[in-house]
Amino acid sequence: MQSFLKKFLTSKENDYEEPSPDQLKHEVDALYVVLSNFYGTDKLILKASKLEALELMHSGDLGKRVLGLQKLVNDDPTHKDVPQIEEIPKILRNLEEHIAEIVAKRSVEERLNQAVAEKMQERHEEYIKEIKTQVLKELGGPENAQTLKKLALWEKMNAAKPLSSALNVLRPKTPEEIVGQSSAMRALLAKLATPFPQHIIIYGPPGVGKTSAARVALETVKKIPDSPFPPDAPFIEVDGTTLRWDPRDITNPLLGSVHDPIYQGAKRDLADTGIPEPKLGLVSDAHTGILFIDEIGEMDPILLNKLLKVMEDKRVFFESSYYDPYNNQIPLYIKKIFEEGVPADFVLIGATTRDPSELNPALRSRCAEVYFMPLEPMHIAEIVRQSAKKLNVQLEEDIPNIISEYVIEGRKANNILLDAYGLAKFKNPGNKNIVITKEEVREVLRSARLTPYDQQKAKAGQDIGRILGLGVSGFLGSVLEIEVKVFPGLAGKGNIRFNETAGSMARDAVFNAAAVIRSLTGEDLRNFDIHVNVVGGGRIDGPSAGLATTMAIYSALKNKPLKNDIAVTGEISIQGKVKPVGGIYEKIFGAKQAGVKTVLIPGENLAEVPTGLKGIEVIAVNDIKDALELAQAK
């Protein structure tokens, strides 16, 4: 019908001339045919009846038929005037345009209705599918094929026989198994066994048992009568170097955080209603127990200050702009958390390899301090024997002593033993009675490229211009070999040469030594060329090498030998007085490791010498003359 109407109208526009009455009659008939096809015959007759145009349609009068068209096309029954013959062409053109608009509009509506129907069918199918899915979920629970597959995998992993961990096998279980730290262990237990246990910082080098000691201490204290810790007191362990947090407290594994709905972090049922949900941290997990932070000296300073506040309040408080105390939809436990806080009453034990001066003073003021000492060779040997017993393996003679020459850490000693144990098992598959040989231990040491820890061994005898000084780095003492050569020089134009790597304070000690030697001997060192050397290029970050340097220069200048098995430490003043220095215990330990028989220390440091020392003599001196008298060979 559209193509017919378009052709009809196009032909009228392109070739128009004043129509004759017959042509007008045919045109009117054609328009009625168009309307009949458009509405349908039945609907057209019904429409004409309502518009009082039925008689006009069947009239033999052309004007009345045109009037009937006007009523039908314009949908207006008020048309009464029958048009004159000369008006009919114009009226027909208007009616043709109107019919064209109606047909076009109907065509567009039909296409839209069809598209709407298709969309409604699609949405209907999706809606039906969603309802079916929901019903299946309600009938079958939250599981699906994927979750059931992962559950089966988890159950298979859980049912598998776990691999034995060497850490669990060799970990100390009693205070007696913490080798070489008996006094420190007693101090640790004493601070926890009271009705008012203290927060504690444990200082010491790595691998000496700080973490194991804290864990064992809690288990030991829980067993005593009237223990401050309940039987189920937790031991929460975390590494200070790995604690990461967001300054906005979006995430904070240590103290806890609030999962606001905007971050999609709360449970869905709470997030959908705009309710924030607190997530508790490790301080709350440690409630009534111990929070152990390894390498506490590496913690972020701001996070550490927040932790100190929790230690004072013994509670953690949360804040959120989403929390509305007047919202009746907020669960009671969330209201309690926001309004009263979460209990966090724990004992903090921090461990560090740093020097105490490097730690936060506010932290130190709140904690008792316990010092773990470096392990001696006999302690390493005992740890090896103890671990071999736990592994149910036999050792050839001298293996503990061999391992003790290469390491000063209990953890590393166990690693060497485990490597040798694995090598022995590999060589003897199926054999349950394993014997570790010295050759297997040597092979492990070679593959690990290990060398004896202390290569500087004191020997009997005497030398001119040579003496052993003592230094300390962290919690480890070491022996420094200082040697001096003195050559005659031009009067007043002599030079003093010193290692550039030794440090400015060590060079200052040389100039102090010049003043002391001049007062002792009357010799002006500006008349000599003097070369002072720290063998190995060691760096001396302090004045403690002053006494050793002065004695070596004096020996070389006066050609008087000094004992090889004696080591000295102390600052020298220009008046010849021996002033106190730090790290006395560590230095004595380092000297003992090197085979030194006698150590000279400042008199003011005598109180720092540990009791019960064996295998080494410690003598206090107050001035250079006393030190020279003790150190000179007879």
Tokens of 164: 């034995």
Catalytic entry in 71, 412, 587, 592:
587
Catalytic entry in 404, 478, 544, 555:
544
The tens digit of pLDDT for each residue in 255-267 reads: 988 887 766 444 4
Of 134, 160, 186, the one marking the end of a domain is 160
User: Do 251 and 326 share a structural domain?
Assistant: yes
Tokens of 169: 């096998």
If you search the block for the tokens 């972090």, which residue do you land on? 265
Contact 66, 28 (CB under 8 A): yes
**In a domain? residue 453:** no
**In a domain? residue 457:** no
Question: What pLDDT does 245 receive?
Answer: 82
The domain spanning residue 276 has which CATH number?
3.40.50.300
**In a domain? residue 166:** no
User: Do 433 and 296 share a structural domain?
Assistant: no
User: Do 383 and 316 share a structural domain?
Assistant: no
User: Do 94 and 12 share a structural domain?
Assistant: yes
Q: How many residues does this entry show for the chain?
A: 634
CA distance 294 to 354: 11
User: Do 506 and 425 share a structural domain?
Assistant: no
The answer to whether residue 320 is catalytic is no
Question: What pLDDT does 273 receive?
Answer: 64
The overall average pLDDT reported for the chain is 82
Question: What pLDDT does 286 receive?
Answer: 94
Total tally of structural domains belonging to the chain: 4
pLDDT mean over 425-429: 86
User: Do 239 and 318 share a structural domain?
Assistant: yes
Residue type, 618: V
Question: What pLDDT does 17 receive?
Answer: 59
**In a domain? residue 452:** no
- For CA atoms 6, 7, 9, 14, the dihedral sign is positive
Tokens of 53: 């145009």
Q: How confident is the model at residue 611 (pLDDT cuts 50, 70, 90)?
A: confident
Of 160, 194, 212, the one marking the end of a domain is 160
pLDDT mean over 256-280: 69
Domain containing 414 equals: 377-447
Q: Which of 154-158, 335-339, 427-431 has the highest mean pLDDT?
A: 335-339
User: Do 559 and 530 share a structural domain?
Assistant: yes
The answer to whether residue 257 is catalytic is no
Question: What pLDDT does 4 receive?
Answer: 47
If you search the block for the tokens 């007191």, which residue do you land on? 233
The domain spanning residue 408 has which CATH number?
1.10.8.60
CA distance 30 to 12: 13
Question: What pLDDT does 246 receive?
Answer: 79
User: Do 193 and 330 share a structural domain?
Assistant: yes
User: Do 626 and 513 share a structural domain?
Assistant: yes
Report pTM. 0.68
The domain spanning residue 585 has which CATH number?
3.30.230.10
**In a domain? residue 219:** yes
User: Do 54 and 78 share a structural domain?
Assistant: yes
Question: What pLDDT does 269 receive?
Answer: 56
Of 106, 134, 160, the one marking the end of a domain is 160
User: Do 467 and 400 share a structural domain?
Assistant: no
The three-state secondary structure class of 622 is coil
User: Do 493 and 592 share a structural domain?
Assistant: yes
**In a domain? residue 515:** yes
Contact 576, 520 (CB under 8 A): yes
**In a domain? residue 241:** yes
**In a domain? residue 222:** yes
The tens digit of pLDDT for each residue in 143-172 reads: 667 777 777 887 777 776 655 566 678 888
CA distance 406 to 74: 111
